[in-house]
Chain A
Amino acid sequence: MEKHWYLVSYDVRNPKRWRRVYERVRGSAERVQYSVFRMYATRTELEAFRCDLVRLMDDEDDLLIVHLCTGCARRVVDTSRQQNWNEERRQVEIL
């Protein structure tokens, strides 16, 4: 199963729900801007993520997930921080 980049953004109308959604999103994705996240996931991980969010969100809330193909991810303009979209993610972290 291949991993792909996804851009995730949400709009939650209620602070209590927002907190829960925010925490769940951080379990799968890294924050880029205040409610914009990037996620590197397989299809299964993406579906599990959406499944969890449906439970936490209400009808009036919105979720936006944009699938970025490899070329798109390479051409992302992100001046916010040191995050690197281009390079292959390291599979192992030695801290």
Chain B
Amino acid sequence: MTSLDASTPLTRVMALHALNYCERLFYLEEVEEIRLADDRVYAGRRLHQQDITEGIETLTYEIESEDWGIRGKVDAVRYRDGSLVAYEHKKGRSNRRQAWESDQLQVIAYCALLAEATGKAISEGRIHYHADNVTVRVPFDESARMELRAAVARANALRQTTDRPPLTEDSRRCKRCSLAPVCLPEEERFASTEQRETQMDSAASPSQAPPRLFPEREERRVLHITEPGSQVERAVEQLVVKFPDRPAICFPGRDIATIVLHGPTQITTQALHYCAANGIAVQWLTGGGNFVAALSVGAPGVQRRHRQYAALSDPDFRLNLARRLALAKVENQLRYLLRLTRPSSGSADLSGEARAELVASNLARMRQALAQLSKAETFDAIRGYEGQAGQAYFEVLARLVQVDEFRFSGRSRRPPRDRFNALLSFFYALAHKDCLAALLSVGLEPAFGFLHTPRSPAHPLALDLLELFRVLLADMPVLGSVNRRQWDTQADFIVTPHKVWLSLEGKRKALSIYEERKQETWKHPVLRYSLSYQRTIELEARLLEKEWTGKPGLFARMRLR
């Protein structure tokens, strides 16, 4: 008998199936509690409810066994040749009329449960594959028992560690795995082949782009509630938005990904319960666009935080990551300016000699900061060079504004003193909330960053992640929309002598420009597949987590072309 103390939880038989398929899958589902169902999972569940119940006596209760350390629900039990047989039904195909290994382990576990529950001798289990209508017999003998014991022992051993097991060797399994978008197996394989190639310094075939298993875009919708006095309510499965002076609008609840509440707008507790249960993100912003709070559900992955704390407590590790992030930010800024000031771009109004000189000198300052950054050895040095580059960047950016009302002289933050800064601040706030939401959904601790130091109420790790997206999600759409004259200088802004901010109209326009930008797809320069900017935020958050889960190297390598 395995020595089980009372604190070891019983392993679900389904989890044993996962364990045999891939140890990483077992760990993510059972230990880190990340569960994602794809269409095949749902189809399988439906099969269990619908097709196999006809004319068969099914067990509707769970069987537990302290002795084996497992629990589970047997699909069906029948008398065959005078003894009981456990049946397992599978939606898919058999392995050339044989059972798949993981299915075999699963049915062996059911046999063990059934033998203990009924006290009768059980000699075999059977698996029915519905896709090709094959029934396979699995003997329940001594070797089967040993296999089961070994699997349960392995499961319990995995529960004790905070390290994720490695990827499965068989990459074909990842294609059919519902957790691939979380685990990012192909990206990890890509990173390790890339490392090997650079070590060998072979000029031979450059590594292939990894096959995409990460969804290209978020399919569900985003709701921004901006009208003061409106309220989000729940009507069973629908979300209803009520307004003070016009009819309510209903949305099917399953179609919503995020609700953002701006300023004095309400959401009912019932609606919050629904959002929590269905994985809908809820975020609150002030009327001015500053982040207030976000709904986060359930216990965060404690193993993920352990690894984060351990990694970021190491000063060298933190410094390396901070340097890489600062390099990414400055290089993106520089590339954006180069793109705008290219003679062929035509958009830049750099006719004057003096102006051209100013641009050239600032670009040189940024290049110099880049060179210094790559050698920087302290956090203060990194922040210093990053700040210098930022100053130079905004000095040039200010010259590229072609609309007189939007001219500005450098960045002013609290409060924004001109229209351009008001726009930048609002866009940065929106991007910050998206970065924070991505970190929360990935299960990282946003209060523990590596480049930024804590100051309330912003989360340092979210500010860190934001550095990657400032140019892409804020600077580019803001400057573009200003130069396209999309803004109404009077109606969209409220101007006072000391401060400029956006009117309700202006905020709505900003939201639609920002959200449109987020939906645009681009090709990730390193991973070389296309995805929306919205998904890129989550991808970078997951790659950041990989920095301290054993497969570093992919975070903060995205660059503007």
Min CB gap A89→B, angstroms = 8
Cβ contact within 8 Å between A26 and B227: no
Residues of B within 8 A of A3 (CB): 219
A50 located at the interface, meaning its Cβ lies under 8 Å from any Cβ of chain B in the complex: yes
Stretch touching chain A among B43-51, B140-148, B165-173: B43-51
A69 located at the interface, meaning its Cβ lies under 8 Å from any Cβ of chain B in the complex: no
| Cβ-neighbour of A92 out of B38, B227, B254, B512 (below 8 A) | B512
Contact with A along B216-233 (1 / 0, CB 8 A): 000101111111001000
Cβ contact within 8 Å between A1 and B215: yes
Cβ contact within 8 Å between A27 and B253: yes
Residue of B nearest to A27 (CB): B237
Cβ contact within 8 Å between B39 and A95: no
Interface size grouping (class) on chain A = 20 to 34
Cβ contact within 8 Å between B224 and A95: yes
Cβ contact within 8 Å between A48 and B42: yes
Question: Which residues from 5 to 62 on chain A have a C-beta closer than 8 Å to any C-beta of chain B?
Answer: 23-24, 26-30, 39-40, 42-51, 54-55
Residue of B nearest to A59 (CB): B54
Provide the bound-state CA to CA distance between A43 and B519, in Å.
21
Cβ contact within 8 Å between B236 and A48: no
Cβ contact within 8 Å between A44 and B241: no
**How many chain B residues touch A (Cβ–Cβ < 8 Å)?**
40
| Cβ-neighbour of B222 out of A26, A44, A89, A92 (below 8 A) | A92
A87 located at the interface, meaning its Cβ lies under 8 Å from any Cβ of chain B in the complex: no
- For chains A and B in complex, what number of residue pairs have CB atoms within 8 angstroms? 94
Point out which of B37, B40, B215, B252 has the most chain A C-beta atoms below 10 A from its C-beta. B252
Provide the bound-state CA to CA distance between A54 and B42, in Å.
11
Given contacts A28-B254, A54-B50, contact A94 B42 (CB under 8 A): no
Residue of B nearest to A40 (CB): B255
B492 located at the interface, meaning its Cβ lies under 8 Å from any Cβ of chain A in the complex: no
Residue of B nearest to A20 (CB): B236
Provide the bound-state CA to CA distance between A2 and B508, in Å.
28
Residues of B within 8 A of A39 (CB): 252
Residues of A within 8 A of B124 (CB): none
Cβ contact within 8 Å between B237 and A26: yes
B238 located at the interface, meaning its Cβ lies under 8 Å from any Cβ of chain A in the complex: yes
Residues of B within 8 A of A94 (CB): 224, 226, 508, 511-512, 515
Min CB gap B552→A, angstroms = 29
Residues of A within 8 A of B237 (CB): 23-24, 26-28
Min CB gap B52→A, angstroms = 12
Residues of B within 8 A of A89 (CB): 221
Min CB gap B206→A, angstroms = 29
Question: Which residues from 502 to 518 on chain B have a C-beta closer than 8 Å to any C-beta of chain A?
Answer: 508, 511-512, 515-516
Min CB gap B216→A, angstroms = 8
Given contacts A27-B238, A48-B37, contact A95 B254 (CB under 8 A): no
Cβ contact within 8 Å between A43 and B39: yes
Residues of B within 8 A of A93 (CB): 221-224, 249, 251
Question: Which residues from 19 to 66 on chain B have a C-beta closer than 8 Å to any C-beta of chain A?
Answer: 37-43, 45-46, 49-50
Cβ contact within 8 Å between A50 and B46: yes
Cβ contact within 8 Å between B230 and A92: no
Residue of B nearest to A46 (CB): B39
Min CB gap A26→B, angstroms = 5
Residues of B within 8 A of A27 (CB): 236-238, 252-254
Given contacts A27-B253, A28-B254, A46-B39, contact A54 B512 (CB under 8 A): no
Residues of A within 8 A of B519 (CB): 91-92
Contact with A along B343-364 (1 / 0, CB 8 A): 0000000000000000000000
Cβ contact within 8 Å between A95 and B227: yes
A90 located at the interface, meaning its Cβ lies under 8 Å from any Cβ of chain B in the complex: yes
Min CB gap A82→B, angstroms = 13
Residue of A nearest to B515 (CB): A92
